[in-house]
Amino acid sequence: MTTLTDLTIAEARDGLARGAFSAVELAEAHIAAIEKARALNAFITETPARARADAAASDARRRAGTPGPLDGIPLAIKDLFCTEGVLTTAASRILDGFRPTYESTITAQLHAAGGVMMGKTNLDEFAMGSSNETSHYGPVENPWRRTGDNRPLVPGGSSGGSAAAVAGRLALGATGTDTGGSIRQPAAFCGIVGIKPTYGRCSRWGIVAFASSLDQAGPMTRSVRDAAIMLGAMSGFDAKDSTSADMPVPDFEAALTGDIRGLRVGIPKEYQVDGMSAEIRNLWDDGIAWMKAAGAIPVEVSLPHTRYALPTYYIIAPAEASSNLARYDGVRYGLRVDGETLDQMYENTRGAGFGREVRRRILIGTYVLSAGYYDAYYIKAQRVRALIARDFTEAFKSVDLLLTPTAPSDAFAQGDKSNDPIAMYLNDVFTVPASLAGLPAMSVPAGLSSAGLPLGLHLIGRAFDEETVLRAAGVLERAAGFTARPASRD
Amino acid sequence: MAVDKDTVTRIARLARIQVPDADRAPLAAELSNILGWIEQLGEVDTEGVAPLASVVDMKLRWRADAVDDGFIPDKVLANAPDHHDGFFAVPKVVE
């Protein structure tokens, strides 16, 4: 039998059903793995006691004959999801000591499905970053290393702890959130699968808000099937989220037929950006060839406003963040730094509580929303956003799906880009457009770079058509035959 | 649009964030750099394009005007840095 920590969710589900091992044994194997891998700094809070209790309850449910779809599966939860009674930090000092008195809808659904919570994973502060270096709790290390080079690499961000935990065999799946690429880019950097579903598919209630018109939760797993299983448990209408979609949740796993014959796959020519490396170009060509070999029809399409997606995002996301983060005032929760007056208390608290990148984005957001600049920046960005969304609508008149690379490079070393915000922002060049349009998009590990690091391919689908995205991702996964794994970190 | 140190001071005040004086000039340079990069949006012809605030094509839902929550003051106050008699406590604001 393979090691319990190497199983996929689907394999673990079958093993638990057969009685080959118990949920408690599965949880213990992961608790031990987490203890051994602390150098990765993937978790802000480990919850072994909770995991043991969840697992024992799961075994009892199974004996009673009433297991849920994720019963006994060890899951890591991004520390952006509020978990009742369990420290929730958003990787920010300003939420120091915050123990929510309520549970996010998604973690409640995962718990109801039988999931076992292993802990809360590290992230960029308030999910603002692409390298997991902005966390108040320190950077996360990618379990992968370059061939012949021992420097620690970033896991991507912002869901870097979740990606490192899944790639490093510390959980079978993890929750992520994606505002501009925060599930997909770390999935690509760590050699795992990550899907951002359609905006509205998964409830945002109880997730610490960054940019509310963009934020969307999704699963991070080691296989496409696992992503389908976990997405099913995370999806669904929630009256507590005003933008939740009141639509039935399809059986995502049943969508994995492996049959994409006749599917029209758009290749957006504007994604062939200046300076794209040969290995990313080759990976993309491989992806096109694999789809074609499986009977799909590649079609060149145009998304003319692609190059404006990043600057549009860097107006809209900070503007929404500056508004959302106004709630951290030292009054209701988290850090308070005293001052003579109420205003001084606010300023001292927020000055001490926010890190550099978060402060930078709040200031940009405040600026673009301030009198005299609102129309020139914010309204302008919303108009360009409409054009970006329209580009996709037009393209989807002639194709069923889009195929692109996930990220412009493989994982970089810690410190390489942390002093150049724009260089950091460019990591999300291929993921941000789908975020602005609210479309489902997914990264699948598809190959290794010359340095021996994972690279991902990216699929974008029509709104609420995760099934086609997953089906095509399954075909890519099989064709790529990605079996490489991070070097042992013992 | 170049942001200067005084502008940083002004927006930091609007955002209620204490920014140490030594950080303001470097921040002005960083923000100018980012805003300069953003200015390329000026090239896009958006005449007649309606601003997109939400990708969700839906009307906000109505619900029955009924109380479905409340009576949990202890939970509401559980994380407050300071509270008295069921209220959040802050520095004195009225003389």
Domain ranges in chain B are 5-42
Is the pLDDT confidence value at B55 over 80? yes
Is A309 an interface residue toward B (CB < 8 Å)?
Answer: no
Catalytic residue among A22, A182, A322, A443: A182
Q: Is A323 a catalytic residue?
A: no
- In the numeric block, the tokens 């409830």 are attached to A203
> Which of 232-261 (A) contact B at CB < 8 A?
239, 242-243, 245-246
Is the pLDDT confidence value at B57 over 80? no
Is the pLDDT confidence value at A1 over 70? no
Strands of A116-121's sheet in order across: A43-46, A116-121, A74-78, A173-178, A216-221, A193-196, A441-448, A454-461, A401-405, A264-268, A297-301
User: So what's the pLDDT on residue B93?
Assistant: 83
> Which of 372-401 (A) contact B at CB < 8 A?
373, 377, 379-387, 389
A101: distance to nearest CA of chain B, Å? 6
| Mean pLDDT value of segment A91-102 | 98
A443: phi then psi, degrees, rounded to nearest 5: -110, 135
**Residue A441 forms beta bridges with which residues?**
A196, A460
Q: Rounded to the nearest 5 degrees, what angle is found at the Cα of A8, between the Cα atoms of A138 and A132?
A: 15
- Here the tokens at position A486 are 């991070």
**Residue A247 forms beta bridges with which residues?**
none
- Here the tokens at position A257 are 């037929």
| Mean pLDDT value of segment A231-252 | 96
Q: Closest to B14 (Cβ–Cβ): which among A98, A330, A366?
A: A366
What's the pLDDT tens digit per position in A390-403?
Answer: 999 999 999 999 99
| Mean pLDDT value of segment B65-69 | 90
> How crowded is residue A484: how many other Cβ atoms within 10 Å of its Cβ?
14
User: So what's the pLDDT on residue A419?
Assistant: 82
What's the pLDDT tens digit per position in A317-334?
Answer: 999 999 999 999 999 999
- Here the tokens at position A282 are 């080759």
CB A51 within 8 A of CB A116: yes
The residues, any chain, with a CB within 8 Å of residue A169's CB and separated by 6 or more, are A3, A5, A6, A33
Q: Which residues of A touch B50 (CB under 8 A)?
A: 383, 386
Is the pLDDT confidence value at A489 over 70? no
Pick the residue from chain A with its C-alpha nearest to B54. Answer: A213
> How many CA atoms does the CB half-sphere of A430 hold within 13 Å?
30
Q: What is the predicted ipTM?
A: 0.95
Quick one: what percent of chain A has pLDDT higher than 70?
99
CA–CA separation, A307 and B43 (whole Å): 11
Q: Is A322 a catalytic residue?
A: no
Q: Is A130 a catalytic residue?
A: no
> Domain spans of chain A?
4-257
**Residue A461 forms beta bridges with which residues?**
A401
CB A171 within 8 A of CB A75: yes
CB A476 within 8 A of CB A442: no
A200: phi then psi, degrees, rounded to nearest 5: 105, -15
The rounded Cα B52 to chain-centroid distance in angstroms is 19
* Crossing angle for the helix pair A9-18 and A224-234, to the nearest 10 degrees: 80
What's the pLDDT tens digit per position in A49-86?
Answer: 999 999 999 999 999 999 999 999 999 999 999 999 99
The rounded Cα A396 to chain-centroid distance in angstroms is 24
Nearest alpha-carbon partner for A58 in A73, A77, A75, A76: A73
User: So what's the pLDDT on residue A354?
Assistant: 98
Q: What share of chain A is helix, strand, coil (3-state, %, to 5)?
A: 40, 15, 45
What's the pLDDT tens digit per position in A419-437?
Answer: 888 888 888 999 999 999 9
User: So what's the pLDDT on residue A112?
Assistant: 98
**Helices then strands, each counted (H, E), chain B:** 3, 2
CA–CA separation, A277 and B27 (whole Å): 32
Nearest alpha-carbon partner for A472 in A405, A401, A420: A401
CA–CA separation, A75 and A174 (whole Å): 5
The answer to whether the CB atoms of B60 and A382 lie below 8 A apart is no
User: So what's the pLDDT on residue A2?
Assistant: 65
A118: phi then psi, degrees, rounded to nearest 5: -90, -25
Q: Closest to B31 (Cβ–Cβ): which among A326, A351, A363?
A: A363
Q: Rounded to a whole number, what is the distance in angstroms from the first to the last CA of chain B?
A: 42
Ranges A271-280, A387-396, A439-448, B25-34: which has the least confidence: A271-280
| Mean pLDDT value of segment A23-42 | 98
The answer to whether the CB atoms of B17 and A213 lie below 8 A apart is no
Q: Closest to B34 (Cβ–Cβ): which among A308, A314, A366?
A: A314
The answer to whether the CB atoms of B41 and A352 lie below 8 A apart is no
| Mean pLDDT value of segment B36-59 | 91
- Here the tokens at position A140 are 């996360």
CA–CA separation, A141 and B37 (whole Å): 30
In CATH, A4-257 is 3.40.640.10: no
- What confidence category does residue A488 fall into, taking pLDDT thresholds of 50, 70 and 90? low
| Mean pLDDT value of segment A383-412 | 97
The answer to whether the CB atoms of B18 and A351 lie below 8 A apart is yes
Catalytic residue among A22, A78, A203, A244: A78
The rounded Cα A435 to chain-centroid distance in angstroms is 12
Element (H, E) at A221: strand A216-221
- What confidence category does residue B1 fall into, taking pLDDT thresholds of 50, 70 and 90? low
User: So what's the pLDDT on residue A490?
Assistant: 42
- Tell how strand A401-405 and strand A264-268 pair up: parallel
| Mean pLDDT value of segment A175-188 | 98
Is the pLDDT confidence value at A274 over 90? no
